[in-house]
Every structure is written in C-alpha cells, then in structure tokens.
Chains A and B, each alone.
Chain A
C-alpha cells in the first residue's frame, strides 16, 4: 500500500490530535506519492485518517450512499465494518456529498448519551480547500480567543451540527480533510458563528 502502518499513522494521529485540541488549527500531513496509484474516490488525507482511526472494533458509513467501491476498499484496508448511519462510529462524507444528504445523516447519526457522551459518531468530511481566512468564527476550549476556519459548510449544515451539540456533553466531532493533505477539526465544544449569520 505504500503506507507505513506504524509511523505514518502515528504522524497522522498526532496531527489530528493537534487539530482536535486546537479547533481551527490546520495541520498538514505527509501524503505518500504512491497513494496516487490507488485511485480511490476519496482524498488521500481521508484515507490516511481512516487508516489511523478505524479497525475491526468500530464501524463506518460512507456518504454519498453510491460509493460502493470505496466502502469495500476502506473495509478491506481497515477491517472495519460498514454500518447504517444510525449505528456508525465514523461517518465519512466524501466530496460531492449533497447538502441534503449530509444534513439528514447528521441529524440521525449517533450522538452519545449524557451518561456515555463518548458513544457518538465522529465525522470525516472532505472539503475543497481548508484555510483560516473567513468563513466560520470559532471559540471555545482549545482556542485562545477566536479562530477562523474557512470551510464550505452551509447554514443548514451548521444548524444541523448545532442541533446535535445543543445538549452538551452529547454531540458529534467533525474532522475536515482536503486534497492537499490538510486537516482541521471541530469538536463538540466549539462554538461556531457562520459568516452569513453575522451579515
């Protein structure tokens, strides 16, 4: 596969951890040249994140639903089982996932319970390009005062996320990946103000 399952996944994990601990921080991971030969319908960053976090003990779901080949490949690479949205531990939304499909899935995915808030789904969402200019204004734990993160999150998506996290500590954690090896996170503790809301 051309990926060092020990050191590469450790490197990716530390970048995810850094971005999760400091929401809005964009981390860059080393994307292996050989990975381009794999011709999967997801970014290498997404595949690396999946290889880092998934194994036979967890389940995943892929959006949009027609990504059958990717579903099989990720299952083969990680040994994780594909599961319905309502049961999946990880939900991977690859580029081209329609807003409606993503919002609907977000509203029904696992949210954890007040007793076990860790039983919620973690999302891996593909973005065109991550940047720190404009877009969402973030505040909360891990952020000194405020941070900016530019993602193509629509108002409906922000509203769906808000619906899921309104009863903190239950809620979902989001990991965004892009084509050039960048990733950023929005844990449930982050307060998000959409640029359009400010207008």
Chain B
C-alpha cells in the first residue's frame, strides 16, 4: 500500500468527519437547528419550529432532521440554522412561522438559500 502524505491524512480526516456528522444526525442529509433559549421562546421560536416541522411533513422531506439548541442572543431571534454537508451552514434571523415556511420551501426543498433572510451569526444582520 502506498504511503499516505499529510495532505492525504487531512483529506481522510475531513471526509470521515463529515460522515461522522451525518451519523450524528442519524444519516439525514439536512440538519435544521432552531435556537430555543428563553429569549427565543419569548420571540416565538416554538411557532417557528412547529412551522418548520409542519412544512417538512407537508413536503414529504425525509432527509431533514430538526433539532433545537439554546439561546442565539444577541442575534435577532428566532434564529434558524441550516446545515447541509458539502454546502455548509446558512443562518437565518427573525424567522417567524411565515419565513420558516419560505426556508423549507425555497432552501430545503428548492435547494436555494433565502438570501433576504440570511444573517451573520456573530454580527447580526
């Protein structure tokens, strides 16, 4: 077997790391995370999460896993993160139920991030 270079090892680690991440989300390809801390709940994050789940169910999207995390403050909540292996992370802010449906329709089902809802997680809009 040929010797592996450091670069080869880095590539293997990255590839296996991505696979591991997929196993962490139970083999699904799309991971949606809704920030659900105290401030998120106050701003309606629960309705956002329910709207995402409803739309995922309606669209028949099997490859999506939805989870929640703690507060995303000071980012404009409700905050929704969409991670797709190979495509990276997209963060959305001020996501109410209507915007949540757009994210599912246009990004998860349609493959195109919703640019007017994107935010930079560290700096806000």
* Physical interaction between A and B: no
Residues of A within 8 A of B (CB): none
